[in-house]
A and B are shown apart, each in its own frame.
Chain A
Amino acid sequence: MTSDFDIVVIGAGVVGTAIARDLSRFKLKVALLEARPDFGDESSKGNSALMTSGIEIAPDSLEYRLVQRGYARYLEEAPALGLPMRKVGALTLAWSDEQCAILEEEFERVRALGHQDFYRLESAEIYSRWPNFGPGIRMALWAPEEGIADPFSTPYAYVLDAVTNGVEFRHSWPVQSVDRLQNGWALHSADRNVVRARLVINASGLRADIVEALAGYNDFEMRPRRGQYLVLDKAARAIHDVIAMPTPTPKGRGILISPTIFGNVIVGPTAEDVDDRDDRATTVDGIKLLKEAMATMVPGLTAIPVNTAYAGMRPATNYSDYRIIPRFDHDWLTVAGIRSTGFSGALGIAEHVIGLIVPHVFDVRPKGSLSPVSVPDLSEPSNRLLKNGERSGADPAYAEMLCHCECISVGEVRDALASPVPPQTIKGLKRRTRAMFGRCQGFYCGARVQAMFDERSKP
């Protein structure tokens, strides 16, 4: 089967879905291809879910500019999409003389860039506001604008918006080979489907180099870096409700402890360069490192039950900055190396990409009217319960709880299964609803959720 498009985006991570969403605003025929059975099934599912304003990024980089823009757009556009965001603020902590010196320098640097909402806190001030920090903290930098958001619903909202407004989303569609056409490219899948596109946008994250190589480009190498996390029970939020991280080292930002938008606390990520980009296993050493970090920074958290551990993979390259490379004379645009700020930067990246394409490559007009889209706000069970209570008069399925830990009703799971972008796997259903994401991890509801999923999947 062959179909023709103006633009094909390869990769439905948070970046690919954001680009597809922005493209859906124009009179263009767009397809979004994803190798995995679901969107956001690789790097985008295992991150820290920080919505960062970008102040810690080197100011001469593209990343700095696009993350700032992405953050601003998120604040503006997330509410209409139903996406929650909390500005909890971030603290960068220093224990030693060296660390203090680094932070002093960082403080001057950031202030000089014109960021006024950025503060330097002394030890006494830190402990009076956050008494649960472990001992020995000498100073900290306080960035109150840093936030947290929903890492799963965000790409879901983008892809749903894109699909509702005309983009064709094809999952389980790995690009196996490409042929150069006179005007564009023909992409071939493993099962002999073909799509032709006048422009290809390669946003395939962790596999960007493989897709690049298909078209004959070898400008960068992937250096996948694994990050492991611990998820603590919601009881942890009474002890810790701020993003806290150690002074960065040349190796990276270090292990942070942050609340999640769902009310848990996460500890992570580790930073391990790995050979196998699919090796998202957690390790004995990694978890030991996380527990040590927790015991040093917020010792009270060690008494809180752990819900689970997970690992994500950053799609880093041998370059520190993003690799956004227009090759319009070859009808190809590379959007790669979105290493760890993709979640915050996605909307900025999408805007930048649109700016490159319209009107220079496609001189098209925006669509006259758009269909608005919103996803369920999964952040606070209390809000959802109120809504479910109101809806249950007409449909009692909203009052029958399926996942008791996270308070997800039969009605909500049913709605997710009937979505225009339905889950293809049980993990996809889990990410759309949060069912089985709670402390019991499916002990009570796993069988019923699986039964509902199987029922839907039956031919």
Chain B
Amino acid sequence: MKAAIGNPRVLIVGAGPAGLAAAAELARSGVSDVLIIDRDDSPGGLPRFCHHPGFGLEYARWPYSGPAFAKKMLGQLQDTPVRISMGTTLLSIENGPVCEVIGPEFGHAQLEPQVVIVATGIREANRGNRVVPGVRPAQGILTTGLLQQLVHRNVSLPSYLRRLVVVGTEHVSFSAILTARHAGIRVVALIGADERVQSYSAAGWLARALGINIHLRSEIVSIAGTSERVEAVRVRKDRVTRDIACDGVLFSAGWIPETVALANGPMLIDAMTKGPIVDQAMRTSIPGVFAAGNVLRGVETSGFAALEGKRAGAMAAMAVAGKIPSGQARETRKMAQSRVPQHWDHSLPEPLELSDRWRPARFRDAYERQT
């Protein structure tokens, strides 16, 4: 590994809504040397793959389509000195902060920026993570993210895939329905564990109008079929099980923060959210490292993630200017070793006094109304 030539002042990890919003805020604050790295082949994050409206509302006051919101976020960085390096993967963050990265631009290198903002986002729990028993064909068992990427990237889906069962009733589950329809796949059923649909009720009405059966208070028991393809899912509701014939199953939601590069490092991970522990200034337990967006927890909307990124950008700008301390390593209370990994910690960081100016507007307004 080599030391990179030209360390950026601020390194942002992730070019999704939170990372891009943080970069825009840093640029606005006049911080000049900002580098965004993203391990994918194009910037914009997960909204890139969601070709339907509903993105960016809280941040941009308009329900853009996913790709349009991604484009808007990128547009904000035009004519700013912010650089984006695609195909660059963060491998680890150590105290310093020292970031180990690999990518076509840097090779395998160490970056030592003054400030880092982690905005690595989330992923969905797949069939394996949920330990749903049954057959394990190579194709036909999906997540929303995988289906949307396959469709977006024009990758062939199995030709027999005509009927899909979607597990989950969150916003993203309905996003999956829209993508499936776009790809010519009919969603035959939606399976939710709760009493009611977890997205807007209108989404439920729309789904029913499209002829989708919504099975609430239900859980998927197993996947039936052959080693080549899915043929049905077994669903249980009130101790009654029944089979729903289908050619594929899509697992939606069940959000997990993407912390692969943080797992073995010193950063404290919250046992509840599975994301980094941050304080009010979005500072993690590593001095100089901030975190924002859905890596902090699953799941908020893209607009909320962008707002959070903006806030982290503002905080990072203050840290760069020396107006707030960039944090200090904290002694942590160790959890019982056999229960959870050592880096999972429930203890809260030291509170930091911040002026109201740095509370997001929506919270500040509510606070002022109260007092």
Query: Interface residues, chain A, CB within 8 Å of chain B?
Result: 131-132, 230-231, 234-235, 238-239, 278, 280-284, 286-287, 298-300, 303-311, 385-386, 388-390, 392-393, 396-397, 399-401, 404-405, 407, 425-427, 438-444, 446-448, 450-451, 454
Contacts and interface: CB of A to CB of B under 8 A. Distances in A.
Contact of A401 (B89, B107, B138, B139): B89
Nearest to A306: B131
Interface in B239-295: 256, 258, 260, 263
Interface of B: 1-2, 39-41, 87, 89, 91, 102-109, 123-124, 126-129, 131, 133-136, 138-139, 143, 145-146, 149-150, 152-156, 221-222, 226-227, 256, 258, 260, 263, 337-342
B108 A305 contact: no
B107 A389 contact: yes
Q: Which of A230, A286, A448 has the most CB of B within 10 A?
A: A448
18 contacts: A238-B342, A280-B227, A281-B134, A281-B136, A284-B221, A304-B341, A309-B133, A310-B136, A311-B136, A385-B91, A386-B1, A392-B107, A392-B108, A401-B102, A426-B138, A446-B149, A447-B153, A448-B153
Given A282-B133, A303-B339, A425 B108 contact: no
Contacts of B145: 443-444
B128 A389 contact: no
Nearest to B151: A447
Contacts of B40: 444
Contacts of B338: 131-132, 239, 298-300
A275 B288 CA distance: 60
A403 to B, nearest CB: 10
Given A388-B108, A401-B89, A440-B123, A451 B155 contact: yes
Contacts of A404: 39, 89, 260
Nearest to B86: A400
* Chain B contact residues, majority secondary structure: loop
Contacts of A439: 129, 260
B91 A407 contact: yes
Nearest to B146: A446
Given A284-B221, A399-B103, A401-B102, 14 more contacts: A131-B337, A131-B338, A281-B134, A282-B136, A386-B1, A388-B102, A389-B107, A392-B104, A396-B105, A399-B87, A439-B129, A447-B149, A450-B156, A451-B153
What 9 pairs across the A-B complex have the smallest Cβ distances? A389-B108, A308-B128, A396-B104, A447-B149, A300-B338, A401-B89, A282-B133, A400-B87, A443-B123
Nearest to B335: A303
Contacts of B256: 305
A283 B222 contact: yes
Nearest to A228: B133
A238 B127 CA distance: 25
Nearest to B221: A284
Contacts of A427: 138
Contacts of A284: 133, 221-222
A342 B362 CA distance: 64
Given A306-B129, A396-B104, A300 B339 contact: yes
A431 to B, nearest CB: 11
Given A131-B337, A283-B222, A447-B153, A441 B227 contact: no
